[in-house]
Structure 1
Amino acid sequence: MSQDNIKFAYWVPNVSGGLVVSKIEQRTSWDIDYNRKLAQIAERAGFEYALSQIRFTAGYGAQNQHESVTISHALLAATEKLKVIAAILPGPWSPVLAAKQLATIDQFTNGRVAVNIVSGWFKGEFRAIGEPWLDHDERYRRSEEFIQALKGIWTQDNFSFHGDFYRFHHYTLNPKPLQQPHPEIFQGGSSRAARDMASRVSDWYFTNGNTVEGIKAQVDDIRAKAAINGHSVKIGVNAFVIARETEAQAHAVLQEIIAKADPEAVNGFGGEAKNAGASSPEGEGNWAKSTFEDLVQYNDGFKTNLIGTPQQIAERIVALKAVGVDLVLSGFLHFHEEVEYFGRKVLPLVRELEREALAAKSPALV
């Protein structure tokens, strides 16, 4: 596979309730046996990454949650090539604990762990676990220091750091991670603070689902700022995938998901999320413009419109790649069956379209 091919990740269903806030049947389980088998299916299907979720309290159907770093290690132990991205929340974790945990896992798995730094948006969760709730931009300042500390611990001996949130004095971590220069660092967010942080310190930036035009604007903004900072950042976009033999079948599934949505849970999530974004200086965050229907998939996955036939979905994925997307982070209704179907029906079409685009651009290279 070419290094330039778009990559695929899936959301690890390590919390109950699936990936939509709906009472529709979801043949998806949060238990470890289901997740081990899913990781193996995804690896065979051609997925490069899996992203574990971080939750400490119940919310919008997620009554039960497995801890992200622990389940990430379990999935790595069950696979051979898949890279698992463990979500970590500054506050409950310190950089030194995260650095030590992940370096050990990296050693045990031949360099297959990554980290997603979640700045936090759920005030009620912070209050429940006794963590201070910082102002919006302060949460991102803390996350940026967290990432700077991770990088320093992973790459330097006698590391010292004097920030507003974290301080280190001649600390040396041994052994360090196998990956060079360090495990990949992901982050999300759509606010100005989130995008600016990505343009300075993160390897990858996750954005919520959006139209091709909306995603292009974000990609252009982040990469222009990153260039000024002498930095480079790759882009991942969230998408809920409904691939069926006909477009009508796919849209019928979407309508059933929305029709069976849990209004109380959706509105509760929407209220929390929008309150968090409203505290940013620009007055909006990830879900500022999301409708009720959008919030049924809690990272705006329907907006990306990977809903239709395998050919339609493949064409839309290649259109995302054309505006600078490097990775599609996918959710599904019935993970085992649909991840396998995606690998068998959609992914080969994506690779074919990528080859055709490359041939049209540079005939001598193919």
Structure 2
Amino acid sequence: MPGTPVDPTPLSFAYWVPNVSGGLVTSTVEQRTDWGYDYNRTLAQLAENNGFDYALSQVRYMASYGADHQHESTSFSLALLLATERLKVIAAVHPGLWQPGVLAKWVATADHLSGGRAAVNVVSGWFKDEFTALGEPWLEHDERYRRTAEFIQVLREIWTSDDANFAGDFYRLHHFDLKPKPVDVPGRPHPEIFQGGNSTAARRNGGRVSDWYFSNGKDYDGFVEQVAEVNAHAADAGRAGAVRFGLNGFLIARDSEREAREQLREIIAGANVEAVEGFRSAVQQAGSSTSDKRGMWADSSFDDLVQYNDDFRTQLIGTPEQIADRALEYKRRGANLLLLGFLHYHEEVEYFGRHVLPIIREKEAELVAREPALVAGA
């Protein structure tokens, strides 16, 4: 992308924690993964020794989309933090099911126990049954995102103020003082706050209040569109340059492109049609509930939804060299982090660290050397 400043900071990598049963694709294809703690403890240690900076624990409270069993995200995240030394773990949480002051306290404690490595992904929610089954009100789409914006503002206020006050439509603070505050980490004013979504409301929140904006799997054009819009909202809010961007991708790295493409074909051929169609019905109804029909999964195909975050669209599929080239093209378009899923977690995380990451780092160095003027202007 000529004329686009290149961020000299190395591309970061995260992985989806498989803390729910069923793996990350809804298919009968073999998935060598496990939702239990022992497997995930080993995985977290493998990940931090193979170049991963973050892990994201999923949140699901009821069975859905093939995930019959689930471990709760915050407690599981803390367990992984205590089992590792460098890995940052992001716990996904829902406003409406969490009170932000209680979560702020939990994160501060987890942050101290882990030496400053706790983070949160604030999820506005699409699964209506999880709220209604628990007797909680289900808000319309844009109202859920308004609540999320306040939730994030309250977290930041509590973590950074000795006399926290907030008056919103959903939350109130009256002279609240959290002690201890989260760990003082150089360059980090408070634990990192991630947030995702595709809708106009999600993009607005990403620009105005979040530290990180997660995009579902996208091709180049789709990702560039989101980056530009979120950055415009950030600039309007006086936060130009404050938001970093993560992109979902399902990684299939094999010694040959033919092997990788055949693996993708097998995944889709083995799709659980009933489960995928059920998920498509639920989430596309949620996506189309937005006023401009631009919500999550609004334009996802059946094949896209075999992986429930549209991660095949990012096309991180092929040889290590091909994947490295594609990863760096996303970096040039604004990606700071790639959030990855795998079919066979232990083996493929190690393969990534041994065969893919070294090529990415080599090509990053070449990119900086080749475009110094752009880097200097970043």
* TM-score, reference length from structure 2: 0.94
| Secondary structure of 2:338's aligned partner | strand
What residue in structure 2 maps to residue 327 of structure 1?
A: 337
Residue 106 of structure 1 is matched in structure 2 by 111
Among residues 267, 288, 306, which one is paired with 2:316 in the alignment?
Answer: 306
Query: Can you list the C-alpha shifts for 1:296-317, whole angstroms capped at 9, x where unaligned?
Result: 0000000000000000000000
**1:275 Cα deviation after fit:** 1.0
Cα separation, 2, equivalents of 1:90 and 1:272: 20
Alpha-carbon shift at residue 355 of structure 1 (Å)? 0.3
Instruction: Give the 5 Å matches for 1:165-176.
Output: 165-176=170-181
Per the TM alignment, residue 24 of structure 1 is displaced from its structure 2 partner at its CA by 0.9
**How much has 1:229 moved relative to structure 2?**
1.4
Local SS of the residue matching 2:80? helix
What's the offset of the Cα at 1:362?
A: 2.3
Match of 2:358 among 341, 345, 348: 348
Amino acid at match of 1:108: L
Please tell me whether the aligned partners of residues 15 and 30 of structure 1 are also in contact (alpha carbons under 8 angstroms). Answer: yes
Question: What is the rounded CA distance, in whole Å, between the counterparts of 1:225 and 1:201 in structure 2?
Answer: 10
Measure the CA separation in 2 of the matches of 1:234 and 1:362. 21
Pairwise CA distance, 1:23: 1.2
Counterpart in the other structure of 1:132:
137
Residue-by-residue CA offset, 1:171-219 (whole Å, 9 max, x unaligned): 1110010144110000010000000011100000000001011101111
SS in 1 for 2:91: strand
For structure 1, which segment, 65-74 or 119-128, has the greater mean C-alpha deviation from structure 2 after superposition?
A: 119-128
Matched to 2:98, the amino acid is W
1:217 aligns with 2:225: yes
| Letter matched to residue 110 of structure 1 | G
Larger mean CA deviation between 199-208 and 268-277 belongs to 268-277
Shift of 1:168: 1.2
Aligned length: 364
Q: State the SS of the aligned residue for 1:133.
A: coil
Aligned to 2:347: 337
Deviation at 1:3, TM superposition (A): 6.5
> How do 1:54-69 and structure 2 match up within 5 A?
54-69=59-74
- Which amino acid in structure 2 is aligned with residue 77 of structure 1? L
Which one of 245, 262, 273 corresponds to residue 272 of structure 2?
262
2:237 aligned residue: 229
Contact 1:116 1:185 in 2 (8 A): yes
- Aligned equivalents of 1:60 and 1:265: distance in 2? 6
Matches within 5 A, 1:136-151: 136-151=141-156
SS in 2 for 1:85: strand
Say whether the 8 Å CA contact 1:123–1:272 is kept in structure 2: no
Distance (whole Å) between structure 1 residues aligned to residue 337 and residue 31 of structure 2: 25
Q: Structure 1 residue 156 and structure 2 residue 161: aligned?
A: yes
Q: Which amino acid aligns with 1:212?
A: Y
Structure 1: distance between partners of 2:364 and 2:230: 24
Query: Which deviations, in whole Å up to 9, do the C-alpha atoms of 1:231-271 show, x marking residues without a partner?
Result: 12111000000000000100111011001110111011111
Q: Distance in 1 between matches of 2:8 and 2:167?
A: 37
CA contact (8 A) 1:123 1:276 kept: no
Q: What is the rounded CA distance, in whole Å, between the counterparts of 1:167 and 1:3 in structure 2?
A: 40
Give the CA deviation at 1:283.
1.8
Q: Percent identity?
A: 59
TM-score (norm 1): 0.97
Q: 2:194 aligns with which of 179, 186, 191?
A: 186
- CA distance in 2 between counterparts of 1:126 and 1:30 reads 23
User: Which sits farther off after the overlay, 41-50 or 229-238?
Assistant: 229-238
Unpaired stretches in structure 2, ≥5 consecutive residues: 1-6
Kindly indicate whether residue 30 of structure 2 is the aligned counterpart of residue 22 of structure 1. no
> Where in structure 2 are the equivalents of 1:2-81 lying within 5 Å?
4-81=9-86
Return the alpha-carbon distance in structure 1 between the equivalents of residues 336 and 309 of structure 2: 18
For the 8 Å contact 2:224–2:333, the answer to whether it is kept is: yes
**Paired residue type of 2:269:** A
Classify the secondary structure of the residue corresponding to 1:45. coil
Residue 228 of structure 1: how far off its partner (Å) = 2.2
Identify the match of residue 210 of structure 2 among 192, 202, 214: 202
Alignment of 1:217-296 (within 5 A): 217-231=225-239, 232-296=242-306
- SS of 2:49's partner is helix
- SS of 2:246's equivalent? strand
Q: Which runs of 5+ in 1 are unaligned?
A: none
- Matches of 1:20 and 1:285, distance apart in 2: 21
Q: 1:3 to 1:177 in 2, by over 3 A?
A: farther
Partner secondary structure for residue 120 of structure 2: strand
User: What is the CA–CA distance in structure 2 between the aligned matches of 1:69 and 1:122, rounded to whole Å?
Assistant: 19
| Structure 1 moving runs of 4+ over 2 Å | none
Deviation at 1:284, TM superposition (A): 2.9
Conservation of the 8 A alpha-carbon contact between 2:287 and 2:293: yes
